[in-house]
Amino acid sequence: MEKPPKWYDAHLDEYRKVAYINSRAQYDEMYRQSLENPDAFWGPLAKEYLSWYRDWDRVLDYDFVEGRIEWFGGGKLNASYNCLDRHLEDKADKVAYYFEGDDPGMSRSVTYRELYEEVNKVAAWLVAQGIKKGDRVVIYLPMIIQLPVAMLACARIGAIHSVVFGGFSAESLASRIEDSHPRILITSDGGFRAGKVVSLKKNADEALKLSEWEVEKVLVYRHAGNGVEWDAGREVWWHEAIAQDGLPDYVEPEPMDAEDPLFILYTSGSTGKPKGVLHTTAGYLLYGAVSTRWVFDIKDDEVFWCTADIGWVTGHTYIVYGPLTCGLTTVLFEGVPSYPAYDRFWAVVEKYKVAKFYTAPTAIRAIAREGDELAHKHDTSCLKLLGTVGEPINPEAWRWYYHHIGRDWCPIMDTWWQTETGGHMITPLPAVAPIKPGSCSFPFFGVEPVVLDADTGRPVEFANQEGALFIKKPWPGMARTVYGDHERFKETYFSKMPGMYFTGDGAKQDEDGYWWIIGRIDDVINVSGHRLGTAEIESALVLHEDVAEAAVVGFPHALKGQGIYAFVSVKPNIATTEALKKDLVALVRKEIGPIATPDLIQWADALPKTRSGKIMRRLLSKIAAGAVTDPEAVEKGVLGDVSTITDPEVLRPLILGRLSLNS
């Protein structure tokens, strides 16, 4: 494998002077200690990074066979207190968030004191509704300050928040409401996206109609000023709610057990409906804070910007809990990279003098495609470090980012992690070692990855040998269960290799020990860094009365990383028309949301299946990728072993059909 050219580590000498972790030797020593003695490693950090009402009795206790994980058992703390109250002493007037609206004319900064005041008001309103520790609150808001406010208000009183990404449809919101049984829903009239209004309240109304579960109250923040329907018995405007007479300005933070739930966040899996990944308080908070500090090497006077939506875990950890626990200043951006033009990110970087910037490969590709000039319109020399997350970054995108945005200097932190991991798992650190484009370098502290051979289940023996990625030991940020379904948690993550956490990704380690993530090896597609289960999209497609069967796979997509490819068979005597394709696309968007829009639909007379009736997605992926163009592929053995397929003849028309679809 190619050694990293010299210019990739131009930053190393400079970072070695300033970084928290400033040499390979220091990293190696800390890493060793984190695995050998997690108590001695995480205990002092928990004291340094968090404020506690009561000390813990033991740092770690776990059973990976049962999927039972406990960090800082017996300890008591409150996340809202850690993010707000304790900063009032020395950071009350420090900016917590620079809010940058979708409209460049709309911006506002919010200090720690202001954030604290607003959080207390909303917490007081929640208390007045009788909301207490353990109750669920679903939050469906655009990227506005009120989103972290709502989350922290819940955390303050011990309620469990579940944020639903504003791009999800009413149906998706309804299914999350039905699963988590919230007493309160917090939403807004609308949000802005590229100059257009997205009617969140309308979706929320529809979701509540669809859902069997009744929420008691809906709190609505007025943001977009669009008209809304109103149910006065159930709905309350945010500004009226917090202005109510007699509502206290201060709510005592609820002392939570270290392992009390902090939030639920739904994410797709290879089967069934999205699952409610549950994170608890102390371990998650600590892991988020420490990784924010060290991976981005953030100093207290630097501005951080993570462009993710808070509706995903990246936003939870690196816009809300990580930065606020550390008392940092970050940017909270409502808009999109393309509006008003594709230089928006760099305009915002320049405006707030962002030092550390974290985004997704898909955004970089979309921006790079629009040309280099836009990137050079702004002075981005304030940038000192870049990050990416969500999918493997392709070399072209990496080089563009490094050269045009990083000025051939900023190191790029390619952070591999997951909703379930709570924070970074395998990632470079800026002063530890040269970076190899496309590799996420080395494991973060406490993380012990291992690649197991898919056939033998044993650790791979050679450098660069690919296999399934497992993690051997618990780390503080990991999820603790699937909400309401611990069996599913055990089954999904701890049953493939008892005693180890299964990531769902394929990976390899090269001869220098660098880690490379290949991508998902389960039935999950990664679209623009967002996870979608093939089963979910298939379920949406078969809701159509003309559809007999559907099989969905991912395929390489220039912008999104992976696109969604659907093979659909219709019922007898149904015409396979363009109009039907349009209907199907609309149906999926309605059931899940625009992110699940199929890119290509191919009609299939029949789908390849095993004798037990399982669709052979491996074969379909190859066809969808355009990797097989020879109709005689089956006969020539190009598709590999097809002996388990009931009727290999179904493949020929699928290969021909693929050729006639242009992608």
Note the residues at the interface with ligand WT7 (CB under 6 A): 267, 313-314, 389-392, 414-419, 440, 503-505, 517, 519-520, 526, 529-531
Rounded distance between C-alpha atoms, residue 434 and residue 28, angstroms = 15
Nearer to ligand WT7 among residue 192 and residue 398 (C-beta) = 398
User: What is the helix (H) or strand (E) element at residue 561, kind and residue range?
Assistant: strand 561-570
Min CB(478)–ligand WT7 separation in Å: 12
DSSP secondary structure string for all residues of 63-87? ETTTTEEEEEET-EE-HHHHHTGGG
Percent helix, percent strand, percent coil in the chain, to nearest 5: 35, 25, 40
Nearer to ligand WT7 among residue 446 and residue 608 (C-beta) = 446
Min CB(323)–ligand WT7 separation in Å: 16
Q: Which stretches of 50-199 are DSSP H helices?
A: 79-83, 88-91, 112-128, 146-157, 170-180
Residue type, 490: K
Nearer to ligand WT7 among residue 123 and residue 552 (C-beta) = 552
Min CB(424)–ligand WT7 separation in Å: 8
Nearer to ligand WT7 among residue 34 and residue 503 (C-beta) = 503
By C-alpha distance, which of 304, 324, 266 is closest to 532? 266
Beta bridge pairs of residue 549 = 569
User: What is the helix (H) or strand (E) element at residue 505, kind and residue range?
Assistant: strand 501-509
Min CB(554)–ligand WT7 separation in Å: 11
Min CB(503)–ligand WT7 separation in Å: 6
Nearer to ligand WT7 among residue 293 and residue 658 (C-beta) = 293
Give residues with Cβ within 8 angstroms of 17, minimum separation 6.
Answer: none
Min CB(500)–ligand WT7 separation in Å: 15
Min CB(348)–ligand WT7 separation in Å: 21
- DSSP, collapsed to helix, strand or coil, labels residue 568 as strand
**How many residues comprise the chain?**
663
Nearer to ligand WT7 among residue 158 and residue 533 (C-beta) = 533
Beta bridge pairs of residue 562 = 556
Nearer to ligand WT7 among residue 146 and residue 526 (C-beta) = 526
Residue type, 502: F
Q: Which stretches of 234-372 are DSSP H helices?
A: 238-243, 282-295, 313-315, 322-326, 344-352, 361-368
Rounded distance between C-alpha atoms, residue 477 and residue 494, angstroms = 16
Q: Calculate the CA dihedral of residues 329, 335, 337, 339 and round it to 10 degrees.
A: -130
Nearer to ligand WT7 among residue 261 and residue 311 (C-beta) = 311
Nearer to ligand WT7 among residue 4 and residue 438 (C-beta) = 438
Rounded distance between C-alpha atoms, residue 602 and residue 564, angstroms = 11
Rounded distance between C-alpha atoms, residue 324 and residue 182, angstroms = 25
Min CB(431)–ligand WT7 separation in Å: 20
Q: How far apart, in Å, are the Cα atoms of 167 and each of 163, 173, 310?
A: 12, 10, 11
The backbone region for 241, taken as left when phi is positive above 0, alpha when psi lies in -120 to 50, beta otherwise, is alpha
Nearer to ligand WT7 among residue 281 and residue 439 (C-beta) = 439
Min CB(156)–ligand WT7 separation in Å: 26
Min CB(531)–ligand WT7 separation in Å: 4
Rounded distance between C-alpha atoms, residue 228 and residue 246, angstroms = 28
Nearer to ligand WT7 among residue 121 and residue 520 (C-beta) = 520
Min CB(116)–ligand WT7 separation in Å: 28
